[in-house]
A and B are shown apart, each in its own frame.
Chain A
Amino acid sequence: MPNETDRKKGRIGGIRSSASTSGVKKTGAISTVEETKKASAVSGIRATGAASSLRATRFISMAERAQLFEMIHEEADKLFSGKNVPPQHKEIVEQAVKMTIDAASLLEEEKKKKE
């Protein structure tokens, strides 16, 4: 037991023992178990969102060719409207990209299919 002097000085006078556990209650028995039920049918499937990382590349078709050529002309005009590039450079570059698109697409085979 802490004496008067200890109480005044704020010292810890002693430690009481902990109370012993009185008892542990048993768990109750499981009263009932419900039967398993059937899962409901899948109501629908939503489309996945667009892939955010690498996109798949797209094939160039005959129909796209003219559209792409027009686009090449527009973009070349925009790109070379400044003074940084020589004038003949635009012509070479535009023609080169058009040639590349042409050489990449299988127009002959498409023509055959249509025939």
Chain B
Amino acid sequence: MISHNLSIFRGLSLEGEFKTLSIEEANSLVLEHKGWCESIAKSVARAWNLDWQMDGLDGAALEALIFCARRYQPDRGVPFRGYARKRIHEASSDAARKSKGWSRNAGSAARTERLAREVSADLFNVFPELRLGQLPYNEGEDGGDFSARFAIQQLLVGASIIAAKQGLANATPDEIMDYKSMVEIMTRLDPFHQLLIFKIYWEGESLRSVANQWETDELNVIREHKVLLEFIQKSIVRGKEIKTPRIRPGLKDISFKLKRTETVGIFSRLIKEREDAHA
């Protein structure tokens, strides 16, 4: 009797799990959203100067669409496009990075384009909301021009850090000193903040995974990252006189634990190691 009563809740199995669609329903969902899915692949291809079909973005996007349609659980109340867009975008950009067109170009102008493409692809990992077609906005602002400008500033600084990281790996000898000055800005930060930047930009971890590792609220990490980008932006523009940001209360315990083992910041250590190697 109890089990009968429970089963009347539409979409819920007895174990309390949400039901996926039948194969027929999932297939019709694929047909319904095929054009939309292709437009995601086309956007990615156009932005990175690739061919959406020749470079295999179409297949990857469609595969992701089929995967999402089969796993979609309508009773969770999330619209299908909201659920699937990030995954389709990820699949398209992964296919783009693996394609022949990704490293096809040669020559100095093409070198800039190739490096920009690499930076752009990494930027999606730092700001995943971009995959949903959204700009990262400033907290508490009006959502208008000011917020858009703030988002652009954050993207530019984020891209600068990624470019510095890639530059240090691929730069010609005369370029290395220029990129070193960018990394030196980060050595002014607290060792804890240096570690946060290193984890996100050098180790490619998401803000969420860093928050999980540190067993803290994701918002703490997101807000701290924003503050750090603001500091780096001001330091690039104005030079050394910028006051370094404090560690927010929600992250202080983690920073204390870190300081027991690490007294020197990771970028400070990298710079010193490089200098010692050259000495």
Which A residues fall within an 8 A CB radius of B?
50-60, 64, 67-68, 71-72, 75-76, 78-82, 84-86, 88-89, 91-97, 99-109, 112
Contact of A79 among B42, B113, B117, B233 (CB under 8 A): B233
> Which residue of A is nearest B158, CB measured?
A97
Question: Would you call the interface of chain A mostly helix, strand, loop, or mixed?
Answer: helix
Instruction: Name B146-164 residues within 8 Å CB distance of A.
Output: 147-149, 152-153, 155-157, 159-160, 162-164
CB distance from B160 to the nearest CB of A (A): 5
Which B residues fall within an 8 A CB radius of A?
35-36, 38-40, 42-44, 46-48, 89, 93, 112-113, 115-117, 119-120, 123-124, 129-143, 147-149, 152-153, 155-157, 159-160, 162-164, 167, 175, 178-179, 181-182, 185, 219, 233, 235-239
CB distance from B141 to the nearest CB of A (A): 6
Contact of B181 among A56, A81, A84, A100 (CB under 8 A): A84
Contact of B43 among A64, A68, A104 (CB under 8 A): A104
> Which residue of B is nearest A109, CB measured?
B39
A71 close to B178 (CB less than 8 A): no
Question: Would you call the interface of chain B mostly helix, strand, loop, or mixed?
Answer: helix
Cβ contacts under 8 Å, A72 to chain B: 152, 155-156
A79 close to B237 (CB less than 8 A): yes
Contact of A96 among B38, B163, B178, B238 (CB under 8 A): B163
Q: Contacts A60-B134, A105-B43 given; indicate if A96 touches B116 (C-beta within 8 A).
A: yes
B236 close to A80 (CB less than 8 A): yes
B147 close to A85 (CB less than 8 A): no
8 interchain residue pairs of minimum CB distance: A86-B178, A102-B47, A103-B47, A57-B134, A96-B119, A95-B116, A108-B39, A109-B39
> Which residue of A is nearest B179, CB measured?
A86
B152 close to A55 (CB less than 8 A): no
B156 close to A95 (CB less than 8 A): no
B130 close to A55 (CB less than 8 A): no
Cβ contacts under 8 Å, A101 to chain B: 47, 130
A103 close to B148 (CB less than 8 A): no
A97 close to B120 (CB less than 8 A): yes
